[in-house]
Amino acid sequence: MDRLLGDVTRTPASVAMPMDLYRSGDTFVAHIDLPGVEPGSIDIDMDGATVTIRAERTTSADEDTQWLTRERAVGTFARQLTLGRGLATDQISADYSDGVLTLTIPVAEAAKPRKIAVQHSTRDVPGEITEGATTEEQPA
C-alpha cells in the first residue's frame, strides 16, 4: 500500500484536516474532515503524482464579538498526497457530505493482479513424426 500511495505525512495541516486512508479491494479511499467548510471553497488539484487539497473555513463573527474560547481554526488549509505508480489518477473522484470530503482513487487496470495464460505449441522438426501424424514417402 505504501508503494501505491507514496507520501502521507503528518503536518500542521493534518491537524486542521485529519484524514483516514484505507484500501478496499481495488480502490483507495481517503476521508478528510472539513467541518464548517463551504463546498465551494474546496479546491482539489492534481499535478503529476501530487494531489493538493485546499479548503477555507470562515467565521461569521461581527467586529464587536468578544471571544471567550476559540478552538475552531479559521482560514485556508492545504494538504498534499503524493501518489505512487499504479493508480488511475484520471479516475479520481471527490464527494463532500456532512463535513467530510471523500476521495476515491482506483488502482489502475495495469497494476491489478491478473492471470497470464500459458500457450502450448509443438515444434515440427523435419523427419520427426509426431504422435498421430502420418508421413508420405517422397520419390527419390
For position 125, what pLDDT does the model report?
Answer: 64
* 3-state class (DSSP) for residue 67: coil
Q: Which stretches within the chain are classed as H helix?
A: 2-5, 12-16
For position 87, what pLDDT does the model report?
Answer: 92
Mean pLDDT by 10 residues, the chain (140 residues): 51 70 94 94 94 91 87 88 90 96 91 83 68 55
For position 5, what pLDDT does the model report?
Answer: 55
- Total count of domains within the chain: 1
Amino acid identity at 101: L
Contact indicator for 136, 127 with CB cutoff of 8 Å: no
Residue 139 lies in a domain: no
pTM: 0.69
Residue 52 lies in a domain: yes
Find where cell 471527490 sits. 94
For position 112, what pLDDT does the model report?
Answer: 75
pLDDT per residue as tens digits for the range 63-103: 888 888 988 888 899 999 999 888 999 999 999 999 999 99
Residue 54 lies in a domain: yes
For position 32, what pLDDT does the model report?
Answer: 96
Q: Which domain holds residue 32?
A: 2-111
CATH (domain of 10): 2.60.40.790
Find where cell 488511475 sits. 88
27 CB-contact burial (10 Å; exposed 0-12 / middle 13-18 / buried 19+): middle
Residue 119 lies in a domain: no
For position 28, what pLDDT does the model report?
Answer: 94
First to last CA, the chain: 69
